[in-house]
């Protein structure tokens, strides 16, 4: 993205005064969620603050935790180390527990095509767009989405209601919870970059 | 354009307003409707300018420059910028040498991230009660909880008041364990001039935008007293493939916000003093206790109720608190409980699912307790008898707002008759009998 565009987006969000992920009236995180759902054709999105946070979320979303074994083809060493730290053992092979794609300025316009994969959870690493560590997990399973959301906050529901832990769903008792929340400022920049990349050639200003 | 610039100013209070009828009885609220919003965080042209400049710098340098500037301000030896306060606490524990199954002693009253960071480090949090005056970790209770498997003591500088670090440091040295600060509320807080974050073997601190020193949304920083601890934390991230990196966008605001931090600190201290003087005159309300030589950062301002000072000693203090809470909210004062249940009684520590299969609690079953609230009587007394202002002292330009808050407390304290009637009608419950609240 051009520096002018980044500056405009950041200044717009700053002027609104809403820069925290836990603000009720934040519009940037829901905006990026909508964009990612549209671009990937999945019905639910969990935004997080790094690729490893997304891998963690993709597992927790499927109820996979310490002591479990999964199949996953072609893991890189760094992700394998992270899964070992989570206590999840991995057998090389299919089916994939999660699919993973890395988005950058060169391929952002092909996200729809890249996202045409079959695993129950899709990890989209957005760090390559240049706004710092950022990622998302896309899934069609609303229960998986709810589990994933719960990992990244402290509490029981979503960002807007994280200040209460009143339980509504006994299957979703929170275990360890990490603050994997993405800044609305980063989300706004990512959304702008994805939107521009998705425009037909010649339409971008 | 969506802007947070106020649509109209808050007028200075007039004497007759404070003498008027309570809002709950139909009087005019001290903070008029439509003017209740506290503008926060404060973002200025300087922030926008440094953000623009940062686009011309390599992202990793933007983050590193910020971390170095803030490290120097705090006076810590080494700093590791992170994506969140929780990540910074995790890294502080890793740097301190906490290993899977180790015990880390934490206060029962804190934000839940303190204890979750211990679990993140694959260790087991051991909860102890707090001091009745400071509301920070009680050194005596901490000493009683030390076992051969204790690796670290993790005090929290609650609301911005440093914990009793001299006593805890002595205890840690005596027992051969590490002292790790949770300084997430305590930007610029001090003991005898030394800044929170530089007091322990390691420290973690949140820099999210709801703190006294806000970055661009979410962020944190870990501090270390030795290079060995710093390297241990760096190696931990590398070895386990964890990405806790801070976004350059968050860091881009660090320089300009840091330059203004001493100004913010002075405004908060002024507001706290002004409000404290007013509260002390009411009898019903007592301002936060600050030991000699300590600087309270007032990220939050916890007010203790003294019902006996206004003839309400026959009523349960929690019911008086609830009634006062209603009256203050009606006056436009956004007072809050900020926590109502000891942390070990929150769901994640009642169920202890951890990473799955109860890991890491399974590594050290002897350290695990099925706590009930009664295990922490001082915390319960505090939860029953206090109310908190959160953002309300931080806004640097609204002197008139804190004057109006002071008047609202005066107004409420003058009406024990109304408090008594509300208690009679209220059917109030003890704080921890309601759904657990994080804040």
Q: What is the DSSP string of B308-374?
A: GGGT-TTS-HHHHHHHHHHHHHHTT---B-S--S-GGGSHHHHH--BTTTTBTGGG-GGG-----GG
Q: Are B190 and B83 in contact (CB under 8 A)?
A: no
CB atoms within 10 A of CB B344: 23
For residue A202, the model assigns a pLDDT of 58
Query: Residue B195 gets which letter from DSSP?
Result: E
Radius of gyration for the alpha carbons in chain A, expressed in angstroms and rounded: 17
Residue A62 vs residues A76, A169, B396: alpha-carbon distances, Å: 21, 16, 46
Mutate to test the interface with A, among B2, B243, B436 (most CBs of A within 10 A): B243
Question: Chain A residues with CB inside 8 Å of B391's CB?
Answer: none
Omega of the bond leading into A71 within 30 degrees of 0 (cis): no
Q: How far apart are CA B124 and CA B121, in angstroms?
A: 9
Question: Chain B residues with CB inside 8 Å of A6's CB?
Answer: 55
For residue A163, the model assigns a pLDDT of 64
Residue B213's contacts (CB-CB under 8 Å, 6 or more residues apart) are B70, B187, B188, B207, B257, B258, B261, B264
Q: Which residue of B has its CA nearest to A190?
A: B249
- B152 at A interface, C-beta within 8 A: no
CATH 3.40.50.300 assigned to domain B45-255? The reply is no
- B57 at A interface, C-beta within 8 A: no
Question: Chain B residues with CB inside 8 Å of A176's CB?
Answer: 116, 119-120, 348, 353-355
Place of tokens 């509301």: B135
Which three-class secondary structure state does DSSP give residue A186?
A: helix
Q: What is the pLDDT along chain B (439 residues), one digit of tens a residue?
A: 888 888 888 999 999 999 999 999 999 999 998 888 877 667 888 888 998 899 999 999 999 999 999 999 999 999 999 999 999 999 999 999 999 999 999 999 999 999 999 999 999 999 999 999 999 999 999 999 999 999 999 999 999 999 999 999 999 999 999 999 999 999 999 999 999 999 999 999 999 988 899 888 899 999 999 999 999 999 999 999 999 999 999 999 888 999 999 999 999 999 999 999 999 999 999 999 999 999 999 999 999 999 999 999 999 999 999 999 999 999 999 999 999 999 999 989 999 999 999 999 999 999 999 999 999 999 999 999 999 998 888 866 678 999 999 999 999 999 999 999 999 998 999 999 988 888 7
Name the nearest CA neighbour of A48 among A171, A172, A138, A141.
A138
Question: Chain A residues with CB inside 8 Å of B245's CB?
Answer: 50, 132-133
Q: Copy the structure tokens of residue B340.
A: 């109502």
- A102 at B interface, C-beta within 8 A: no
Burial category of A64 from C-beta neighbours within 10 Å (exposed 0-12, middle 13-18, buried 19 and up)? buried
Q: How far apart are CA A181 and CA B65, in angstroms?
A: 23
Task: For residue A6, give how far its alpha carbon lies from the nearest alpha carbon of chain B (Å).
Answer: 9
Which domains, ranges and CATH numbers included, belong to chain A? 3-198 (3.40.640.10)
- A128 at B interface, C-beta within 8 A: no
For residue B42, the model assigns a pLDDT of 73
For residue A205, the model assigns a pLDDT of 43
Question: Chain B residues with CB inside 8 Å of A165's CB?
Answer: 346-347, 435-438
The phi, psi pair for B330, rounded to 5°, reads -65, -30
Question: Chain B residues with CB inside 8 Å of A20's CB?
Answer: 208-210, 217-218
Residue B421's contacts (CB-CB under 8 Å, 6 or more residues apart) are none
Q: Which residue of B has its CA nearest to A7?
A: B52
Q: Copy the structure tokens of residue B32.
A: 């008029």
Torsion of CA B415, B420, B425, B427, to 10 degrees: 120
In the predicted structure, residue A204 carries a pLDDT above the cut 50: no
In the predicted structure, residue A168 carries a pLDDT above the cut 70: no
Q: Are B88 and B58 in contact (CB under 8 A)?
A: no
Q: How far apart are CA B215 and CA B109, in angstroms?
A: 26
Residue B345 vs residues B90, B350, B432, B433: alpha-carbon distances, Å: 21, 6, 9, 11
pLDDT in tens, A111-149: 999 999 889 999 999 999 999 999 999 999 999 999 999
CB spacing of B351 vs A173 below 8 angstroms = yes
Q: Which residue of B has its CA nearest to A183?
A: B217
Return the number of CB contacts < 8 Å for A and B. Answer: 194
CB spacing of A17 vs B4 below 8 angstroms = yes
Query: Where exactly are the structural domains of chain B?
Result: 45-255
Q: Are A44 and A141 in contact (CB under 8 A)?
A: yes
Sheet containing A135-139: order of strands: A44-48, A135-139, A121-125, A98-102
- b/e per residue, B171-201, with b = 16+ CB within 10 A? bbeeeebbbbbbbbbbbbbbbeeebbbbbbb
């Amino acid at each position: 993205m051009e520096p002018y565009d980044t500056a405009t987006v950041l200044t717009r969000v700053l002027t609104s005064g809403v820069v925290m992920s836990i603000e009720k009236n934040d519009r940037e995180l829901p905006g990026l969620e909508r964009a990612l759902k549209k671009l990937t054709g999945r019905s639910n999105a969990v935004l997080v603050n790094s690729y490893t946070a997304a891998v963690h979320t993709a597992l927790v979303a499927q109820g996979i935790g310490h002591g479990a074994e999964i199949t996953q083809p072609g893991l890189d060493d760094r992700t394998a180390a992270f899964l070992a730290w989570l206590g999840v053992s991995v057998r090389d092979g299919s089916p994939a527990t999660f699919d993973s794609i890395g988005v950058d300025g060169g391929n952002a316009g092909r996200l729809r095509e890249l996202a045409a994969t079959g695993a129950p959870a899709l990890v989209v690493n957005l760090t390559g767009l240049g706004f710092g560590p950022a990622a998302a997990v896309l899934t069609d399973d609303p229960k998986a989405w709810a589990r994933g959301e719960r990992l990244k906050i402290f509490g029981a529901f979503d960002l807007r209601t994280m200040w209460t832990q009143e339980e509504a769903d006994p299957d979703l008792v929170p275990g360890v919870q990490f603050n994997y929340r993405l800044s609305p400022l980063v989300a706004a920049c990512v959304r702008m970059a994805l939107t521009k990349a998705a425009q037909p050639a010649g339409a971008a200003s | 354009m969506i802007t947070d610039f106020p649509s109209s100013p808050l007028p200075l209070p007039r004497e007759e307003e404070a003498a008027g009828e309570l809002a709950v009885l139909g009087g005019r609220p001290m903070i008029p409707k439509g003017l209740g919003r506290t503008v926060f965080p404060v973002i200025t042209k300087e922030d926008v300018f440094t953000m623009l400049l940062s686009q011309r710098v390599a992202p990793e340098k933007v983050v590193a420059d910020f971390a170095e500037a803030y490290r120097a301000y705090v006076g810590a030896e080494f700093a590791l910028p992170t994506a969140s306060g929780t990540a910074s606490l995790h890294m502080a524990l890793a740097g301190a040498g906490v290993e899977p199954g180790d015990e880390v002693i934490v206060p029962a009253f804190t934000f839940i991230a303190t204890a979750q960071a211990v679990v993140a480090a694959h260790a087991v949090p051991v909860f102890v009660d707090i001091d009745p005056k400071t509301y920070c970790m009680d050194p005596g209770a901490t000493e009683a909880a030390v076992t051969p498997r204790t690796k670290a003591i993790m005090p929290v500088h609650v609301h911005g008041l440093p914990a009793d670090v001299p006593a805890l440091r002595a205890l840690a040295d005596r027992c051969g364990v590490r002292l790790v600060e949770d300084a997430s509320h305590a930007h610029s807080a001090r003991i005898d001039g030394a800044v929170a974050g530089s007091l322990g073997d390691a420290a973690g601190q949140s820099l999210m935008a709801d703190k006294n020193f806000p970055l661009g949304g979410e962020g944190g920083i870990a501090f270390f007293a030795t290079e060995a601890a710093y390297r241990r934390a760096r190696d931990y991230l590398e070895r386990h493939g964890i990405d806790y990196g801070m976004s350059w966008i968050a860091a881009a605001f660090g320089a300009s916000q840091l330059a203004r931090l001493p100004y913010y600190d002075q405004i908060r201290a002024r507001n706290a003093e002004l409000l404290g003087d007013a509260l002390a005159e009411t009898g019903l309300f007592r301002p936060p206790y600050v030991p000699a030589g300590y600087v309270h950062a007032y990220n939050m301002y916890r007010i203790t109720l003294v019902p006996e000072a206004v003839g309400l000693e026959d009523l349960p203090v929690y019911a008086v608190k609830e009634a006062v809470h209603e009256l203050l909210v009606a006056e436009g004062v956004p007072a809050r409980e900020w926590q109502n249940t000891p942390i070990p009684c929150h769901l994640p520590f009642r169920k202890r699912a951890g990473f799955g299969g109860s890991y890491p609690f399974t590594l050290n079953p002897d350290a695990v307790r099925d706590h009930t609230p009664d295990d922490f009587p001082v915390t319960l007394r505090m939860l029953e008898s206090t109310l908190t202002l959160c953002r309300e002292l931080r806004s640097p330009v609204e002197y008139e707002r804190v004057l109006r808050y002071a008047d609202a407390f005066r107004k409420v304290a003058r009406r024990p008759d109304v408090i008594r009637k509300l208690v009679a009608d209220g059917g109030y419950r003890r704080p921890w009998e309601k759904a657990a609240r994080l804040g």
